[in-house]
Structure 1
Amino acid sequence: MKKLSILSRLFVCAGLAFAGFTAQADEVKGNSAAGNGKVWLCVGCHSIPDYRADYPLTYRVPMLGGQNAAYIASALAAYKKGERKHPTMRFIAASLSDQDMADIGEYYAAQTASSPNNQLK
């Protein structure tokens, strides 16, 4: 009888964890049109082909057009939490809300590497 009780508790906990995960995933939906107004700071580095930032180390700055929206939002969140260490990105991400990150992700997901707003002419 005790095994059934423990198993039942595990199922309840798993169900609650899954419900919490899906509720959190549904809370923030990115909007590429809204993201268009939020990438003004991003294009200064991420729109220059083969750009390398040199503080504190030399980093190859990636082009973001066509990247997965969830990946971009996740990377920005990791910079904000300090899990990713680039100081400039950490500073920028610290000012972004979850909605901002989702919007920026959707904006870049809708672009390609050669999109006009993703690459300087």
Structure 2
Amino acid sequence: MKKHLISQLALSAGLAFIAFAAQADDVQGSAKAGAGKVWLCTGCHSIPDYRADYPLVYRVPMIGGQNAGYIAVALSEYKKGERKHPTMRAIAGSLSDQDMADIGEYYAAQTSSSPINPLK
């Protein structure tokens, strides 16, 4: 059972790496451009310990400092319906691949002392 779980984790990590690499090859993001595109994100993701209550109670993660490729891939998965949160799916549905890459770079550049968005 443990070997099976380890194999699944390794496979998942490998697929995630491939997805990040594929995203990076297609579009180059810009943190500066992303700064003008995150206005809707901050409504939930900048509130410490925020919990969304539709359709279920869901802890909204702080995404500052997260890997840019991960954010872009996650947004793409929401857009395609592979991830199921309805609000995120609606927001991601309005984003282009360039928007997703820019937003990913913006949040990847954030640290706890970032003056751009101190409430990541």
TM-score, normalisation: structure 2: 0.76
Per the alignment, residue 98 of structure 2 pairs with 99
The answer for the alignment partner of 1:65 in structure 2 is 64
Q: Report what 1:42 is aligned to.
A: 41
Distance 1:114 1:48, change over 3 A: farther
**Shift in Å, 1:31:** 0.3
Runs of 4+ in 1 over 2 A off after TM superposition: 22-27, 113-116
Kindly state the Cα deviation for residue 112 of structure 1 after the two structures are TM-superposed: 1.8
SS at match of 2:38: coil
Q: How does 1:83-98 map to 2 (within 5 A)?
A: 83-98=82-97
Counterpart contact for 2:34–2:106, Cα < 8 Å? yes
Residues 64, 113 of structure 1: CA spacing in aligned structure 2 closer, same or farther, 3 A cutoff?
farther
Q: CA deviation at 1:26?
A: 2.7
Question: Larger radius of gyration, structure 1 or 2?
Answer: 1
Residue deviations 1:11-44, cap 9 Å, x none?
A: xxxxxxxxxxx88743300000000000000000
* Structure 2 runs not aligned, ≥5 long: 1-20
- Given that residues 46 and 118 in structure 1 are in contact (C-alpha distance below 8 angstroms), is that contact kept between their aligned partners in structure 2? no
Residue deviations 1:86-109 (CA, integer Å, cap 9, x gap): 000000000000000000000000
1:58 shift after superposition: 0.5
Match of 2:119 in 1: 119
Closer/same/farther in 2, CA of residues 23 and 89 from structure 1, 3 Å limit: closer
With over 3 angstroms needed to count, the CA separation of the structure-2 counterparts of 1:114 and 1:84, relative to structure 1, is: farther
Aligned CA RMSD, in angstroms, stands at 1.9
Native 8 Å contact 1:65 1:115 kept in 2: no
* Counterpart code for 1:56: P
Would you say the 8 A contact 1:45–1:61 is kept in 2? yes
Q: What is aligned with 2:8?
A: none
